[in-house]
Amino acid sequence: MRALAANIEEVFREAAARWTLLAYFALSSLFILLFAVAVNLDVVNGALAGAKIFGANVHMGRESVDLDKLVLGFESGFAGFLYVVGTFLAIFATAHLVPRLMEKGTVDLYLSRPVGRVPLLLSRYLGGVLLSASNLLYLLGSMWLLVIWKTRLVHPRFLLAAGIILFGIAALMAFAFLVGTLTSSTAVSIMATFAVFFLSIVLANLHGHTAMFSSEWAVWLVNGLYWIFPKIVDIGRAVVGLVSGENGPIRDRGALALSPFLSTGLFGLVSLTLACLRFRRKDF
């Protein structure tokens, strides 16, 4: 346990020493700061009577706007935006974890300790997930507190969206680990993971329009791949749906169905299992 904790701590130290993570925190902080300074809301009896963005008045019309709806709209949109950006940054910040471990001269130092290969890899994975979670919590948590400060409205679901975003990141990170164990290359891990990300979006769009395919095998292929790949689009809808609740678009209201989570979780689990098997059998 002590060895695994040291390994997780090492992941954080390594991340702190890398510019990508510092850049992520710096960008996140800048975004939070801009939002804090730029947006000034005039709230009267729970409704938005006036707003200023960067000092300029926003035209509100004759009627005051329902503040709760406005904030929920912002939070759900921001959560969806963060789902994409957060996933990209998380993969960038953690894809090196396996290739760096497997470098000649480094792997010997780790494997010569009394730690099994699978626990070593899994502790690295856990370190990566915790790292992504800390980034997400920093950004979402800060925005959540800012919204409370500016509007006095508390929407805990916005914070809970971090859980779903992290679930998507964890599944993709497992795939990045698998590619890392197979190729020992950070660049290939990033490219392959992003390829899965985009391909799953394409598959999600094609999946609902199988009538456009002329051959049976093409339909079978698209449907098969759709169920194998992680459900990036469905998970994104679930993030928006969770935050907006009944106020969101109709297409997102039933988005918290179980099957996309199960198939995405299975994708991550299979990827991680294969990564462990490969790492366990490899000769260094």
Partner 1 sequence: MTAAIEVRGLRKTYRPAFGGRAIDALAGIDFAVQPGELFGLLGPNGAGKTTTVKILLGLTHATSGEASLLGLPASDPESRRRVGYLPEGHRFPGYLTARQTLSVFGRMSGVDHRTLKARIPGLLERVKLADWIDVKVKKFSKGMTQRLGLASALVHDPEVLLLDEPTDGVDPVGRREIRDLLRAEASRGRAVLLNSHLLSEIELTCDRVAVLRKGKVAAMGTVEELTKKREEKISSNGYKLVASPLSEELLSDFFERGASPERVNGHVRVLARDAAHLNQLVDATRARGALLTELTPEKSSLEDVFVDLVRAGDPPSDSPSSPSKKSESAA
Among 44, 103, 205, 218, binds partner 1 (CB under 8 A): 103
Among 30, 52, 108, 205, binds partner 1 (CB under 8 A): 108
- Single out the residue of 199, 238, 190, 240 nearest to residue 87, CA to CA: 190
Cβ closest to partner 1, residue 209 vs residue 281: 281
Dihedral angle over CA of 95, 100, 102, 105, nearest 10: 180
Among 38, 52, 116, 269, binds partner 1 (CB under 8 A): 116
Dihedral angle over CA of 91, 97, 103, 105, nearest 10: 160
Residue with tokens 């971090």: 162
Binding to partner 1, residues 262-281 (CB under 8 A): 281
Residue 86 CB, nearest approach to partner 1 (Å): 25
Residue 184 CB, nearest approach to partner 1 (Å): 14
Residue 110 CB, nearest approach to partner 1 (Å): 7
Confirm or reject binding of residue 115 to partner 1 (CB under 8 A): yes
Biggest CA–CA distance in the chain, Å, is 73
CA pair distance 239, 242, nearest whole angstrom: 5
Confirm or reject binding of residue 19 to partner 1 (CB under 8 A): no
Residue 111 CB, nearest approach to partner 1 (Å): 5
DSSP, collapsed to helix, strand or coil, labels residue 134 as helix
Among 62-70, 97-105, 169-177, 232-240, the segment contacting partner 1 (CB under 8 A): 97-105
Confirm or reject binding of residue 105 to partner 1 (CB under 8 A): yes
Residue with tokens 């290939």: 188
CA pair distance 101, 104, nearest whole angstrom: 9
Residue 7 CB, nearest approach to partner 1 (Å): 7
Residue 100 CB, nearest approach to partner 1 (Å): 9
What backbone torsions phi and psi does residue 140 show, to the nearest 5 degrees?
A: -65, -40
Residue with tokens 């935050």: 243
Q: Which residues bind partner 1 (CB under 8 A)?
A: 2-3, 5-7, 9-10, 13-14, 16-17, 103-116, 281, 283-284
